[in-house]
């Protein structure tokens, strides 16, 4: 963070003058005039150290360099990301307070909850869905399940028996499991934990049957021969899990559930401000530096523009509402 | 790789000038935030983490880990001197530490806790070096039922902990349990007892609760005290710090028992130093021949918990480094730091990153030695704090508490929570309700409930699961023994009174 600021002091004045007179180098149709003229805050609705934090800091660094203003990352964790999201939803819609939102805080919660003090959809103007990452359906290496087909057959013969652990109600891992049950016509036992590490512990210990887990984290255990991946939840093979089929290919045609992360402004933020921010993100995603980092982390670069992002969120909310209603999870 | 090879490799890493420098920075910052009431290791590491994005990963980890265990050294200082816990985990040290200070033994007490901390750390580091993978595999055998049994034992053991009315103490445990229920229900995702206050969706923060009940309450209680209560602090001589031969004897076994309990609790993912020190204190009081001295300045009462929380912190690295499963909330942030640096902790970490693993372990030795060297000369300086008038000291402390509570989640609401608990804590004191049982219920209650319900979910409601798992059965047995040891003496007395009648 300090380095971002320091770099700004070194480059800042020159870059700012340049940007204001010549316009930004990025291909921006209607960049907002005079924006930004003060530091921008990106709120991360989780404690430091997680993947959302990493993404926000890396994107923040690029935004600072191209917009000529310092970008401060603020961690406001709590209640699965909804505390931080609520804070941004209530902030001024001027583009200076942004949210690094995730599937849970900005789509699933809209389907699942009526008791939030903000509306996860209408209170935000998406800037860009930046990255997505599929999950992996993993079982213990000693388990009898060799394929997605095995799981479906078993779950059909033994309703309410097959257990899958998740980091909590309303997480993308939970929804991936509920969608799996809905699409396959089975009933699984959802075993929620406080965080994915505790679920992983029980999976390694053989006390739960499966988990829809983060690709990067689970790939370590798969390599070590402790877990086996039966399928990935995305629409194509993932480069960190070569040879593992998608769940759609492996027996549930049409199945897809990915988690994603994106930058959101409060609703009512002017379109030209959104365009300026999106231009900076688009440029950042072209850099080899960020692409390499994302590859290492297992992310797929999305970089959707504001309009596409809005449509994408609407689709997501519709999809999860269907799943939540079918499973009777509405709070 | 054998241990000697590892040690050699680790020393090569830990003794470079930059590793030493970051280790020194880490432990110094750790000591400092440990001493400051309210700002604990979690807040400090969260604040420092972004700064380490640009460091070499091993250096970054050495520094962050240094903050973590360094804070455990500092935490007891304020507990002893001011009856204000420096960190939430040091609340238990107030019980006997502050009475010692009132008897003019503050230098001795702080010296003893430095030694306890060092022994506790050393004990756990040896375990990490020699047996980390083995212990981690054992910890993996603990399921929900086993966790439930361990925590139940903790609750049973600790219930014998307080002075005064047992009914008030019991009432306060229940109050703590009730406070722990507030927040999102893990199983259903429902907001429980939040009364429409969205900020409570994650429950009360443990830092706000501990700092309010212990810290802010102490400050309120001292408002209006005449300035004359200040202790005249003379020159602190080294002689005042050193325990006598008899005192060394008193602290030896409690320190070792505390180290063992702390190592065990620390190696179990999902627990932490708070539980370790509570359990160590409870066990010590239970088995002591003089339980009546506890709470009145018993050296055992500071030795066991201080050794336990340090051992727990070091042992928390066992599951993290050998399995990629963080031992507690702070280590989870450290794991995040590793991932940021492109190192994904998992079962292969020790083999794939031997330089980092051994470098980190050897830096623990370096760091703990530095802490010992740093802390002993500082004792004189800390004790001088007592000569600062309350009217200047307490406003500063209050600011630190608010800062610390706020910085955990950048949430203003938490400041009101800490002040609210401060007022409540003061009222409780005035009416003779002890605060420690509240903390106990609050820490153990949610874990107990979560694991009980998970055990029921996985066993489809079969209660026998608590006796069928061998680990759980052992701990359930220990709980029964504990309860029996409370009631048996009375029972035996009654039986022996009856016995003569029977023989007549």
Instruction: Tell me the per-residue pLDDT of B80-112, one tens digit each, with 9 for 90 and over.
Output: 988 888 887 888 999 999 999 888 888 999 999
- Tell me if chain A has a CB within 8 Å of the CB of B400: no
Extract the tokens encoding B389.
């008038």
Do residues A188 and A163 touch, judged by C-beta distance below 8 A? Answer: yes
- A207 chain-B contacts, CB cut-off 8 A: 143-144, 458
Residue of B437, B440, B471, B436 lying closest to B148 (CA atoms): B471
Position B227 confidence tier, pLDDT thresholds 50, 70, 90:
low
- B166 vs B214, more confident: B214
Task: Give the pLDDT confidence score for residue B170 in this predicted structure.
Answer: 84
Residues across chain B = 504
The values of phi and psi at residue A132, to 5°, are -135, 160
| pLDDT greater than 80 at residue A207 | yes
How much of chain A exceeds pLDDT 90, in percent? 74
CA atoms in the 13 A half-sphere facing the CB of B5: 5
Residue B235 lies in a domain: no
The reply to whether residue B269 touches residue A2, judged by beta carbons under 8 angstroms, is no
3-class DSSP state of A34: coil
Cα–Cα distance, B9 to B500 (Å, whole number) = 71
In DSSP terms, which residues pair with A331 in a beta bridge? Answer: none
Cis peptide before B48 (omega within 30 of 0): no
pLDDT in tens, B238-265: 777 888 899 999 999 999 999 999 999 9
Residue whose tokens read 């048996």: B488
Task: Give the pLDDT confidence score for residue B350 in this predicted structure.
Answer: 86
pLDDT in tens, B392-449: 888 888 998 998 888 877 888 999 999 999 999 999 999 989 888 898 889 889 999 9
| pLDDT greater than 80 at residue A8 | no
| pLDDT greater than 80 at residue A3 | no
Task: Give the pLDDT confidence score for residue B61 in this predicted structure.
Answer: 92
Residue B232 lies in a domain: no
Mean pLDDT, range A147-172, rounded to an integer: 95
When the pLDDT of each residue in chain A is averaged and rounded to a whole number, the result is 88
Instruction: State how far residue B332 is from chain A, nearest Cα, in angstroms.
Output: 8
Instruction: Work out whether the CA dihedral A249, A254, A259, A265 comes out positive or negative.
Output: positive
3-class DSSP state of B298: coil
Instruction: State how far residue A193 is from chain B, nearest Cα, in angstroms.
Output: 7
- B501 vs B210, more confident: B210
- B186 chain-A contacts, CB cut-off 8 A: 168-169, 192-194
Mean pLDDT, range B374-396, rounded to an integer: 84
Instruction: Work out whether the CA dihedral B189, B190, B191, B192 comes out positive or negative.
Output: negative
How far CA B440 is from CA of B2, B50, B156, B219, in Å, comes to 42, 33, 11, 22
Instruction: State how far residue B309 is from chain A, nearest Cα, in angstroms.
Output: 22
| pLDDT greater than 70 at residue A12 | no
Cα–Cα distance, B86 to B73 (Å, whole number) = 10
- A163 chain-B contacts, CB cut-off 8 A: 458
- What pTM was computed for the model? 0.87
Residue B501 lies in a domain: no
Strands B183-184 and A163-166: unpaired
Position B163 confidence tier, pLDDT thresholds 50, 70, 90:
low
- Looking at the partner chain, which of B270, B334, B457 has a beta carbon nearest the beta carbon of A198? B270
Cα–Cα distance, A113 to A81 (Å, whole number) = 13
- Which range in B193-202, B214-223, B255-264 is most confidently predicted, on average pLDDT? B255-264
Strands A258-266 and A124-140: antiparallel
| pLDDT greater than 80 at residue A323 | yes
Cα–Cα distance, A61 to A7 (Å, whole number) = 10
Cα–Cα distance, B498 to B4 (Å, whole number) = 64
Buried residues in B331-355 as b, exposed as e (16+ CB within 10 A): bbbbbbbbbbbebbbbbbbbebbbe
pLDDT in tens, B115-148: 999 999 999 999 999 888 888 888 888 999 999 9
Task: Give the pLDDT confidence score for residue A18 in this predicted structure.
Answer: 41
| pLDDT greater than 90 at residue B72 | no
Residue B366 lies in a domain: yes
- Tell me if chain A has a CB within 8 Å of the CB of B133: no
Extract the tokens encoding B77.
């200082």
Extract the tokens encoding B398.
């209050």
Query: How many CB atoms lie under 10 A from the CB of residue A181?
Result: 20
Q: Which structural domains are found in chain A, ordered by start? A: 2-133+259-327 (3.40.190.150), 134-232 (3.40.190.10)
CA atoms in the 13 A half-sphere facing the CB of B140: 23
Cα–Cα distance, A126 to A40 (Å, whole number) = 16
Cα–Cα distance, B298 to B175 (Å, whole number) = 27
| pLDDT greater than 60 at residue A27 | no
Strands B183-184 and B191-192: antiparallel
- Looking at the partner chain, which of A79, A169, A202 has a beta carbon nearest the beta carbon of B143? A202
Residue B41 lies in a domain: yes
Task: Give the pLDDT confidence score for residue A15 in this predicted structure.
Answer: 42
When the pLDDT of each residue in chain B is averaged and rounded to a whole number, the result is 87
Report the Cα–Cα distance between both ends of chain A, in Å, rounded: 39
Task: Give the pLDDT confidence score for residue A204 in this predicted structure.
Answer: 94
Residue B234 lies in a domain: no
Start-end of H helices in A192-287:
196-204, 215-223, 271-286
Query: Residue B196 contacts by C-beta under 8 Å, 6 or more apart in sequence?
Result: none
The reply to whether residue B49 touches residue A57, judged by beta carbons under 8 angstroms, is no
Q: Give the gyration radius of chain A's Cα atoms.
A: 21
What's the total number of domains in chain B? 1
The values of phi and psi at residue A271, to 5°, are -60, -35
| pLDDT greater than 80 at residue A10 | no
Instruction: State how far residue B61 is from chain A, nearest Cα, in angstroms.
Output: 12
Cα–Cα distance, A68 to A62 (Å, whole number) = 10
The values of phi and psi at residue A113, to 5°, are -120, 140
Cα–Cα distance, B161 to B286 (Å, whole number) = 8
Residue B192 lies in a domain: yes
Query: Residue A174 contacts by C-beta under 8 Å, 6 or more apart in sequence?
Result: A166, A167, A168, A190, A192
pLDDT in tens, A47-90: 877 889 889 988 998 999 999 999 999 989 888 899 999 999 99
CA atoms in the 13 A half-sphere facing the CB of A156: 9
pLDDT in tens, B314-332: 999 999 888 888 877 788 8
* ipTM score: 0.87
Task: Give the pLDDT confidence score for residue B378 in this predicted structure.
Answer: 87
Task: Give the pLDDT confidence score for residue B99 in this predicted structure.
Answer: 92
Q: Which domain holds residue B275?
A: 3-226+241-496
Cα–Cα distance, A249 to A235 (Å, whole number) = 9
Position A110 confidence tier, pLDDT thresholds 50, 70, 90:
very high
Position B497 confidence tier, pLDDT thresholds 50, 70, 90:
low
The values of phi and psi at residue A210, to 5°, are -155, 175
């Amino acid at each position: 963070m300090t380095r971002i600021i320091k770099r700004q002091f070194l480059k800042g004045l020159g870059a700012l003058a340049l940007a204001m007179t010549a316009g930004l180098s990025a291909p921006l149709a209607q960049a907002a005039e005079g924006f930004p003229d003060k530091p921008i805050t990106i709120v991360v609705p989780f404690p430091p150290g997680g993947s959302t934090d990493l993404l926000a800091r890396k994107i923040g660094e690029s935004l600072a360099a191209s917009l000529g203003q310092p970008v401060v990352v603020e961690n406001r964790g709590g209640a699965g990301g909804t505390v931080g999201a609520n804070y941004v939803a209530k902030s001024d819609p001027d583009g200076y307070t942004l949210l690094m939102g995730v599937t849970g805080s900005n789509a699933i919660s809209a389907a699942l909850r009526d008791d939030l003090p903000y509306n996860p959809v209408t209170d935000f103007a998406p800037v860009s869905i930046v990255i997505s990452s599929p999950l992996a359906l993993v079982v213990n290496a000693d388990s009898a399940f060799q394929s997605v087909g095995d799981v479906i057959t078993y779950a059909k013969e033994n309703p309410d028996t097959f257990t899958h652990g998740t980091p909590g109600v309303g997480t993308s891992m939970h929804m991936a499991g509920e969608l799996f049950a809905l699409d396959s016509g089975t009933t699984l036992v959802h075993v929620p934990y406080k965080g994915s590490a505790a679920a992983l512990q029980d999976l390694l210990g053989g006390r739960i049957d499966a988990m829809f887990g983060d690709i990067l984290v689970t790939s370590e255990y798969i390599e070590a021969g402790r877990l086996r991946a039966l399928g990935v939840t995305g629409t194509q093979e993932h480069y960190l899990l070569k040879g593992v089929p998608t769940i759609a290919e492996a027996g549930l045609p049409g199945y897809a559930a990915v988690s994603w992360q994106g930058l959101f402004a409060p609703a009512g933020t002017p379109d030209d401000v959104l365009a300026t921010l999106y231009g900076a993100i688009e440029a950042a995603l072209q850099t080899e530096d960020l692409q390499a980092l994302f590859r290492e982390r297992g992310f797929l670069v999305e970089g959707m523009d504001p309009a596409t992002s809005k449509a994408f969120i609407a689709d997501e909310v519709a999809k999860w509402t269907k799943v939540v209603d079918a499973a009777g999870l509405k709070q | 790789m054998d241990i000697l090879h590892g040690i050699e490799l680790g020393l090569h890493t830990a003794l470079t000038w930059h590793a030493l420098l970051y280790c020194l920075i880490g432990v110094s910052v750790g000591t400092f935030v440990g001493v400051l009431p309210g700002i604990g290791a979690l807040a400090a590491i969260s604040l420092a983490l972004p700064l380490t994005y640009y460091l070499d990963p091993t250096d970054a980890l050495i520094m962050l880990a240094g903050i973590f265990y360094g804070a455990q050294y500092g935490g007891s200082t304020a507990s002893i001197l001011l009856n204000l816990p420096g960190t939430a985990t040091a609340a238990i040290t107030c019980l006997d530490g502050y009475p010692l200070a009132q008897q003019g033994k503050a230098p001795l007490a702080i010296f003893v806790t430095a030694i306890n901390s060092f022994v506790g750390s050393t004990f756990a580091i040896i375990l990490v070096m020699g047996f980390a993978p083995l212990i981690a595999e054992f910890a993996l055998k603990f399921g929900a039922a086993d966790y439930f049994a361990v925590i139940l034992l903790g609750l049973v053991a600790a219930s014998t902990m307080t002075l005064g009315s047992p009914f008030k103490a019991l009432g306060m445990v229940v109050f703590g349990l009730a406070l722990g229920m507030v927040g999102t229900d893990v199983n259903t995702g429902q907001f429980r007892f939040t009364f429409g206050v969205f900020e409570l969706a994650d429950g009360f923060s443990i830092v706000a609760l501990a700092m309010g009940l212990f810290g802010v309450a102490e400050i309120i209680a001292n408002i209006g005290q005449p300035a004359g209560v200040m202790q005249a602090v003379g020159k602190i001589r080294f002689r005042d710090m050193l325990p006598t031969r008899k005192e060394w004897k008193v602290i030896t076994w409690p320190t070792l028992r505390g180290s063992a309990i702390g190592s065990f609790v620390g190696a179990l993912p999902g627990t932490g130093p708070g539980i370790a020190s509570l359990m160590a204190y409870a066990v010590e009081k239970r088995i002591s021949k003089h339980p009546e001295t506890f709470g009145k300045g018993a050296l055992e009462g500071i030795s066991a918990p201080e050794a336990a929380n340090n051992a727990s912190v070091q042992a928390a690295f066992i599951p993290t480094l050998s399995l990629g499963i963080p031992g507690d909330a702070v280590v989870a942030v450290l794991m995040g730091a590793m991932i940021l640096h492109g190192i994904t902790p998992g079962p292969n970490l020790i083999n794939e990153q031997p330089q980092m693993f051994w470098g980190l372990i050897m830096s623990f030795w370096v760091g703990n030695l530095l802490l010992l060297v740093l802390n002993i000369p500082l004792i004189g300086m800390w004790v001088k704090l007592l000569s600062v008038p309350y009217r200047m000291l307490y406003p500063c402390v209050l600011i630190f508490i608010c800062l610390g509570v706020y910085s955990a989640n950048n949430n203003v609401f938490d400041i009101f929570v800490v002040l609210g608990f401060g007022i409540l804590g003061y009222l409780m004191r005035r009416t003779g309700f002890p605060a420690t049982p509240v903390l106990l219920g609050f820490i153990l209650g949610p874990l107990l409930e979560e694991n009980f319900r998970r055990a029921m979910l996985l066993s489809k409601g079969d209660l026998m699961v608590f006796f069928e798992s061998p680990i759980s059965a052992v701990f359930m047995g220990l709980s029964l023994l504990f309860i029996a040891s409370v009631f048996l003496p009375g029972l035996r007395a009654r039986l022996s009174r009856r016995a003569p009648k029977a023989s007549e």
